Each structure stands twice: as structure tokens, then as C-alpha cells.
Structure 1
Amino acid sequence: MIGADLAIDLGTANTLVHVRGKGVVLNEPSVVAIVKDGHQTKVLAVGKDAKEMLGKTPGHIVAIRPMRDGVIADFTVTEAMIKNFIIKAVNKSFLMRSRLIISVPAEITSIEQRAVREAALGAGVREVHLIEQPMAAAVGAGLPVRDARGSMIIDIGGGTTDVAVISLNGIVSSQTLRVAGDKLDQVIVNFIRKRHNILIGERTGELIKMKIGSACPLEKELEIEVKGRDLITGVPRSIIITSLEVREALQDSIRQFVSCTKSVLEKTPPELSADIIDRGIVLCGGGAQIKGLDKLLSEECGIPVYVADNPLHAVVDGVGKVLENIDTYRGILI
């Protein structure tokens, strides 16, 4: 009996699991609900069930994200989360014979790498390999990572934004920005608190970003009704927020995406720069869905920018492709 080989996109916001021969079988929020009982921590719920509890739990139950800024913030809870997701994806009896590939941010330290490996091994798998997220995203987006040609990818995830130029199975120049989906949600929450004296939760901030967030002016500006707590009276109140306001809130973060992209382009060898001018930059991750971001980056950098066919699944598709063809892609694993 052989093990079920797995590929995991271990994201700050969501974790996706690809099983060899079956494709993506699990896509759940990277959230764990725990109960503090003295010095002991007991896991109550993981994934979708735990996310429903965010901001709604009584004092003794805490809903947390064990991954922060793309790295493990709580080792024990992350191990429990990985184990739970693997068991949901495959039969528990397969675990001891399973091979696992996990994606990690490009500028992860060796200590953080070891933490991810140990969390996965602690979950019960036999063998663990790591792959850098921008490399996985490039494979998932169909870029020729093994060729002697420059490919450029921008992966805006939940905790980190990875910008990388790839050639011949390696990352030539890259930069990891700790500004990504979660930070954008928080920026919107803070903006609405300051501008309208209304307190909203991070989930509402994320909804606003997804529905009306934009990087440049829209043909028809959008609006959304938002409910929150009035900070002056203390009672619930609803207001209308426009895409113009959200764009104002996001402008500093968007500027950081642009300067990070320019910085990586400046560090790129001229031969590879020529390839990138010809073939453009690929944008993926949840942040790729911000309206007009591809257009703005293209205008600022003077290079065509394309959104990947399936931006949210680019990393897991890439990790899955590496898993299915591990001998071909062994050179790109860490």
C-alpha cells in the first residue's frame, strides 16, 4: 500500500491541499479556534468552522491565525492545523507513507524553514520538501522556469507579497514585502474608523476590498453599505463607502507594490530584463483581483502586466505540478 503524496500551499489567509492524482481537494482558511485550559491549549475547530468564530468568540475560546506574514507565529497550533488539513484531505492510515511538498515565502530564514519542516513531520508524514512561493506560482502560471529565459512573477498573498525574477530553475532577484491581503484589510478598517468613526471587523474590511477595492479610477465608481459600531454613541450604524474612499485608503500600500516591483527590476541582469520586456510580468494571488492593479503596475513600470488565469490557485497548482512531476522539477526545490 503506497502513501498519498500531497502538495500544500500553506498561506497566511488560506491553506490549499493538492493530492497526487486527484488535484486540489481542500481549500480552507488558515484559522484555528483554541480553548485555553490552564497551561494546555486544546484545538476546538480548524478552517472554515474556526473562521466563522473570528471576532465572535467568548473569553475562553480564541480564534487565531497561526501563520503571520507568511511565517509560523504559533508552532504548536500550526502543527495541529497542518495535521487536521492532511487528515481531512487523505485517509489517516496513508500519513506515515506520505511525501509532502510545502510552499514557503522566498526570503524565509533557515530557522523558519526548519519550523515548517518540523511542523509537517510532526503531523506524521514521511518526507517533506519545500518550494519558494514565487517559484511555485510561476510553475502554476505556466512560465518556463527551467529555461534560460527571464520570467517575472508578483504573488500577492495574505501575509506577504513576493516579487521575483526566475531563470534556469532559480530565483535571480527577489523581494518579499510584508504588505499583502491582510494588511490591506487592516488599512481599510483603520481608514473607516478615522474617517467615519465606525469600527468594523477584519472580515468586513476584506469584503470591502474584494467588492470595491481598486488601484486606479474605475469607469463607474462603486459603493457598498457597511455596518459597524459607532465609536461615539457605541450603537450599531450603517454607512455607504465608495470605491473612491477605498482607493484613497489603499494608495500607500499600492505604492509599496510598485516600488518593490521597480526595485526587483533594477537588480535584474540586462539580458533577463530584455526577456521580461518582451514577455511581461505575471500577477497572481488574491491581491491580483484588486481592480486595475495590473494596469497601474504596467503604466508605472512600462512593461505589460498580465493576471494569471487562476490567480488564487497559482501557487497550489504549481506545487501540485511539481509533485506530479517531481523528477523533472527536483532542481527547483529548496
Structure 2
Amino acid sequence: MAAFRSDLGIDLGTASILVYVKGKGIVLNEPSVVAIDQNTKRFLAVGEEARKMLGRTPGNIIALRPLRDGVISDYDVTEKMLKYFIQRAIGRFLFKPRVIVGVPSGVTEVEKRAVLEASNQAGAAKTYLIEEPMAAAIGAGIDITEPNGNMIVDIGGGTTDVAIISLGGIVVSKSIKVAGNECDEAISRYIRKKHNVMIGERSAEELKINIGTAYKKNKEEFMEVRGRNLVTGLPKTVNISSSEMLEALEEPVTNIVDSVHAVLERTPPELAADIANTGIVMTGGGSLLWGLDKLISEKTGIDARVADDPVSCVAIGTGKSLDWVDVLENSLMNDDKVRSK
């Protein structure tokens, strides 16, 4: 029966969705954006095609992200989007796939139920949930079954999850709704306040990726960005420097560093000693912000390093844990466990 079924691991992110097919690896990495015709409620585009429409649609078409802060904000759209991605990843299948979905460590029972039901309605035979820091650790190649402390900082699009992992379980964790999207919004606010120019979501993201920094750079970098002048209402181009980016990102970056500090304060002494030796592993797209690893190292006194493929760690971890369903049974959440609570 297993030969006719393709089990899946899904990183259901606020910014993007990655799908891992057992035996094949990551087969799909698309933005979690959907374009819908409001008059007919018909899906017009999903993924990268829909992302290009953000901020550029006529009145009857909306391009939206059905996931906010790592959880489902629009159930029906998420279910249809998941169905589309599952079918694209594995095509036609004889038996429904088992699916493991990564969720933030701070999700409520209601939010867990929403993800489980959306996945099952989208075509899963059985859905398991795994906390993203656990999946990120597995994806980063850490042996989580050993009695050693490992610290994971997973910075996604909607949430930052900080966790101490030992013996296949999470000992201490903290999840905050400050991550990549909050950084984009901070950049937009800063440019609006300092330059009187309104810029779009995509422009803010491009600034963050190209010249964004969490630590002072030796060499100043510049990038032009176009937006609407709030005084004249006309298009305007402004030249933004990396030092301005440092100032713009100060608040969200400080929140992330503070959450790392808060978790370390609650860590048992033996595990804290392990982490001082092994260091902090950073995963997720947000960990690619220039200088963030240096800043965390400086503020904590513990070596912080970015995983080899930080964006894919959670997806790889969800996929690998398909082989460990029996071993990780206590860490994984499924329909029966959530229903019984």
C-alpha cells in the first residue's frame, strides 16, 4: 500500500509553503499567496504568480495571504490552497498521503484544530503536527534524541520560535509574532516617517534582502526605492542606506534578541552548559538578515550560527520525521490527541 502513497511534510509558513515528498526531497517552494476574484470567488492564481499581483490588482480581484503570524486567518482559502499544493506536489495518488505539518510552538488548541481539519479536507489520510523548532532542528541535522541541550532560533515570516531541545522533546520555548513580515512593516513605517514616501510590501522586502542589516556594517550600502510621495501624491525615488536600515529594523530585531535571552534565563543549568558548548543554531528565512547572528552572539556570549539551508530546515525536518513517526509519537500532535483535550 505504501508504494502507492506519497507521504508529505509541509512547512505551512506565513510567507511561503514548502512541500517535502518522502523519497524525493523538497519538490515545491512557493509564496503562500492566493489571488481571488471577489465576484465569482474563483481562484485566479496561487503562489509566485499571485505574489506578483500583491498591491497591483483591480477592485474585483484581491491577492491575499491566508496565513497570518504562522496560523490560519482564512480557513476556506487555506484549505483550497493546501489542496492545490498537495496535488501539484504528488499529482494523482491511489491512496491519500499521510501529512506532517510544521506549526509555531505557541499555537492554541483552536489553531491546531484548524490546521488539522484544513489538511484533512485538502486530501490527507492522517495529519500530524510538529512544532517548528523541533522540525527545524531535525532539518538542520541535529540529533534531537541525545540527552544534550540544543538551542534553535527559527525566524520565519510571521513568527519567531526559540526553543531548547533535549531527548526528543522541547524543554523550554517561546514564540513571538515578530519575524520577517514585521521587519518589512518596520521598514515601510520608517520610510514613510523619514522620507514622506509610501512604499509597497514587495519594495520593503527587497530593501530588507538587499541592504537590510541587524549589525553595523563597515561599508555603507545604498539602494534606490520607488514609492508615492505623501505630500504631492506623485511617484518619487529615494536612496536608502544600510545605516537607515539598521535604524528601521532596531525594534523587531531587539524583540527577537530579547526572546532568545528570555529562553536562556529559563533553561536548566545542565542544558545551559551544553548550549554554551554547542552554540545556537538559527533557521528560517529571517535568520538570513545580515549581522543577526553576530548580534545574538554579542548579546548572549554564545556562538550563534546560521544553518546550511535555513529556509528549507523546517520542511526537511517535517519530511524526515515521517520516518520517525513512532519514535516522535509523543512530540507529534494528531487528530485524536487534539480531540481528546
Amino acid in structure 2 at the alignment position of 1:68: R
Instruction: Give the match for residue 168 of structure 1.
Output: 167
Q: Secondary structure at the match of 2:157?
A: coil
* Contact 2:37 2:43 (C-alpha < 8 Å) held by counterparts: yes
Instruction: State the partner residue of 1:13.
Output: 15
Q: CA deviation at 1:205?
A: 0.3
Partner SS, residue 143 of structure 1: coil
Give runs of aligned pairs for residues 8-47 of structure 1, distance below 5 A: 8-37=10-39, 41-47=41-47
Deviates more, 1:221-230 or 1:320-329: 320-329
Partner in structure 2 of residue 56 of structure 1? 56
Q: Is the 8 A contact 1:35 1:41 kept in 2?
A: yes
Residue identity over aligned pairs, in percent, reads 52
Quick one: distance in 2 between partners of 1:257 and 1:49?
Answer: 31
Shift of 1:180: 0.4
2:148 is paired with a residue whose SS is coil
Per-residue deviation, 1:42: 2.3
Q: How far is 1:45 from its partner?
A: 1.2
Work out whether residues 144 and 151 of structure 1, in 8 Å CA contact, stay in contact via their aligned partners in 2. no
Shift of 1:331: 4.2
Mapped partners of 1:189, 1:147: distance in 2 = 44
Mapped to 1, the partners of 2:322 and 2:328 lie a distance apart of 8
Aligned amino acid, residue 152 of structure 1:
M
Alpha-carbon separation, structure 1, partners of 2:213 and 2:233:
31
Query: Which residue does the alignment assign to 2:87?
Result: 87
Q: Secondary structure at the match of 1:93?
A: coil
Gapped regions of structure 1 (runs ≥ 5): none
Deviation of the 1:142 alpha carbon? 1.3
When normalised by structure 1's length, the TM-score is 0.97
Runs of 4+ aligned structure 1 residues displaced above 2 Å come to 324-332
CA distance in 2, matches of 1:325, 1:22: 17
Pick which of 320-329 and 16-25 moved more.
320-329
Q: Distance in 2 between matches of 1:241 and 1:198?
A: 12
Q: How many residue pairs align between the two structures?
A: 331
Distance 1:152 1:105 in 2: 15
- Per-residue CA distance 1:283-317 (angstroms, 9 max, x = gap): 11111111111111011011110110111111111
Q: CA deviation at 1:10?
A: 0.4
Q: Mark the runs of 5 or more structure 2 residues left unpaired by the alignment.
A: 334-341
SS at match of 1:97: coil
**Correspondence 1:323 to 2:325:** no
Q: Which residue in the other structure is 1:308 paired with? A: 307
Moved more, 265-274 or 320-329: 320-329
| TM-score, structure 2 normalization | 0.95
Q: Is the 8 A contact 1:21 1:324 kept in 2?
A: no
Following the alignment from structure 1 to structure 2, what is the Cα–Cα distance between the partners of residues 120 and 236? 43
Instruction: Tell me the equivalent position of 2:281.
Output: 282
1:188-199 residue pairs with structure 2 within 5 A? 188-199=187-198
The residue aligned with 1:181 is 180
Partner deviation per Cα, 1:48-89 (whole Å, 9 max, x = no partner): 111111100000111000000000000000000100001111
Which amino acid is 2:91 matched to? N
Aligned partners of 1:73, 1:144: CA distance in 2, in Å? 34
Q: Tell me the distance in 2 between the aligned counterparts of 1:199 and 1:278.
A: 46
1:245 CA displacement = 0.3
Following the alignment from structure 2 to structure 1, what is the Cα–Cα distance between the partners of residues 218 and 135?
Answer: 34
SS of residue matched to 1:311: coil
Which residue number corresponds to residue 220 of structure 1?
219
Q: Deviations over 1:115-140 (max 9, x none)?
A: 00000111112111110000000111
3-state SS of paired residue (1:323)? coil
Partner of 1:271: 270
Cα distance in structure 2, aligned partners of 1:270 and 1:318: 27
**Which residue in 2 is equivalent to 1:71?**
71
Looking at structure 1, the residues matched to 177 and 325 of structure 2 have their Cα atoms a distance apart, in angstroms, of 30
Whether the 8 Å contact between 1:161 and 1:177 is mirrored in structure 2 is yes
1:101-160 per-residue CA deviation (whole Å, 9 max, x = no partner) reads 100000111111110000011111211111000000011111121111100000000000
CA positional deviation for 1:325: 4.1
Q: What is the one-letter code of the residue matched to 2:15? A: A
Task: In structure 1, give the amino acid aligned to 2:29.
Answer: N
Give SS of 2:322's match.
Answer: helix
2:123: which partner in 1?
124
- AA at the equivalent of 2:178: V
CA shift at 1:332, angstroms? 3.1
Q: Is 1:15–1:29's contact at 8 Å kept on the other side of the alignment?
A: yes
3-state DSSP class of the match of 1:253?
helix
